[in-house]
Structure 1
């Protein structure tokens, strides 16, 4: 495994720094990532020279977010092929890096299929590597386009649900440019509302245990000059009770065929609160996140994260003593329950928005029609 760090140019902004890019220096191809574990304190890039380095970057959440993981998975296969490593072995390792996010497997499959097709067609290893890279680049471009279309469809739906503008939107985790080749999923809708002058307030859940709302969504909102307020996850109920939330917008890491939605843990309680308070609960995700091979929510494998992500807090510039490299906030030996995701049933989802449009109410039939059939993320 080989990776290294390179600090980004002074004064550059998150929306101006590519979250992922392919480069070909004289010593060989590399995949360059904006290391999201270092945000918001510093903007640092992580350079991966092989698939194991990318696997570690995925597991550590240096690169994260369903759409971006799909792009990263495709580039990972291309990187293994270009570097002359075992492509099938690299593909298996990449798919296993994070089991819940279906886009990762979709991206790996797409580049792997292109690589195999080139070999089967009589091409050599060089041609097969180029085919894998072309597939990854195509997926990257499509993700950028999908992001823009989701923002358009999402804003139209928001305006339909909440006529008159002045939207007060609550979001959870991070679903902006840091998870996408474009401007994101759910956050992109809020950003579109902001640009149209129709966003009154973006409520940002801090999103325990990794604080991806506080560290990343607030970071992006500040860069765009959006009116935003950060809150603890447990404070969301008081916001609903006070009538301060007009809609909830979240992304997704996997959507089952029946419309069940796996997203960062804490999303399901928001759906329950939204239903009780008659507030729209809208999921925004690309079609690649809809997995026709997963029939329902009970079939979604939920990733379990290390306990130290709950029992410790990473604090830059402060001496650390915890096993995970953070400052302990619980007694030594405390056990922690730390699922990365929870699953929201379709009956609690007002609408699902993809680049192809929106479905509401959410049913298996409507979702299948919108997304145009199944995708096969599993590897042979």
Structure 2
């Protein structure tokens, strides 16, 4: 698996996913503003990867503060944390990472230079943890995948969306590694084609059979019994189990319900936000309409036409068969199972 992001000395190297699958280019980030640029322009994307990138960006931010008074340093650093927190609204892992770093710093009795080193070390720890969590999630999810199985997914929830291995595609990988005969249908995922560009690319690299399908074909595919199971990722899961993911996921879930195809969400517990009661409270990012009216810089629609470009939608919990996490496959009622899992009352499987 190609790394999504990593430290190279004191520089954060971020894989520019906008150029895949044509080119493999890493962007060097020497300050927090550059990391935020990568997050906002989708050079790096996917909730877990955004969380790790945020932590690394905060390490760069701390290093840039040239204040010798610790109280003033802490005040300035807290301001930078809030700038990072505002980079993208829907993916809760970004706020989760900001809070984790901020809490760590607040509890530290180290001097300023020690705190700067502490933040960088913690960001690396978060990257390593994410890969370990994804592998555990994949193993848990592989247990619900039939053998053989055609798995349909939406957007990209693979190693590219995480520190490594992946969430939804981590389940696919784990099933494949367990010897199950699996293949993937990747929704193309308009308007930015993360399924066609990224998911298909990852599966080709892994030697797992993959076919790209237009987003609107899920109904005919399921009606012809060409799909055995749906597995998608999530950018935020509310306390009641409603799950926000890339726009088009809700439509896929509705087709799965209509055709009795199991629909699973794979996400780490860090993506579960118990402070968000239902999906209605999840902020939904709206992006540049030009992403809809243009492809590769070429205008497709009449120049006078505007466009709607919601980046995410919310799948209601009653359409979700189970939520695959690092501690197991959680079932409804989600308000109970998610709360117990977040509280550490469900042991790792």
TM-score range normalised by the length of the shorter chain: over 0.9
User: Which residue, 313, 325, 340 being the options, matches 1:342?
Assistant: 313
- Separation of aligned partners in 1, 2:44 and 2:334: 32
Distance 1:371 1:169 in 2: 28
Is 1:290 aligned with 2:272? yes
- Cα-to-partner distance string for 1:286-338 (whole Å, 9 max, x where unaligned): 00000000000100000011101100001xxxxxxxxxxx1111111321111
The equivalent residue for 2:69 is none
Which structure 2 segments of 5+ residues have no match?
A: 67-75, 345-349
- Please say which of residues 140-149 and 190-199 is displaced more in the overlay: 190-199
2:4–2:164 contact (8 Å) kept in structure 1: no
**What's the secondary structure of 2:314's corresponding residue?**
strand
2:117 aligned to which of 130, 143, 148: 130
C-alpha displacement of 1:90: 2.3
**Structure 1 residues not aligned, in runs of 5+:** 1-14, 315-325, 374-380
Partner of 2:294: 312
Distance 1:184 1:372 in 2: 24
Q: For residues 333 and 95 of structure 1, what CA distance do their matches in structure 2 show?
A: 35
Alpha-carbon distance between aligned partners in 2 of 1:101 and 1:362, rounded to the nearest angstrom: 23
Is residue 2:21 matched to residue 1:40? Answer: yes
Q: Which runs of 4+ in 1 moved over 4 A?
A: none
Q: Is the 8 A contact 1:114 1:128 kept in 2?
A: no
Q: Where does residue 18 of structure 1 map in the other structure?
A: 3
Does residue 76 (structure 1) correspond to residue 57 (structure 2)? The answer is yes
Please give the TM-score of this superposition, normalised by the length of structure 1: 0.86
Q: Would the aligned equivalents of 1:265 and 1:340 in 2 still touch at CA under 8 Å?
A: yes
In the alignment, which of 164, 168, 172 is matched to residue 186 of structure 1?
A: 168
Mapped to 1, the partners of 2:77 and 2:31 lie a distance apart of 11
Alignment equivalent of 1:51, drawn from 32, 37, 44: 32
Q: How far apart in 2 are the matches of 1:191 and 1:331?
A: 42
Q: Please tell me whether the aligned partners of residues 349 and 362 of structure 1 are also in contact (alpha carbons under 8 angstroms).
A: no
How many angstroms apart in 2 are the aligned matches of 1:327 and 1:99? 28
Q: Which residue in the other structure is 1:219 paired with?
A: 201
- 1: distance between equivalents of 2:201 and 2:287? 24
Aligned partner of residue 183 in structure 1, secondary structure: coil
Aligned-partner SS, 1:203 = strand
Distance of 1:333 and 1:115 partners within structure 2: 51
Q: What is the CA distance between 1:136 and its match in structure 2?
A: 1.2
Q: Alpha carbon RMSD of aligned pairs, Å?
A: 1.4
* Residue 112 of structure 1: how far off its partner (Å): 2.1
Structure 2-normalised TM-score? 0.93
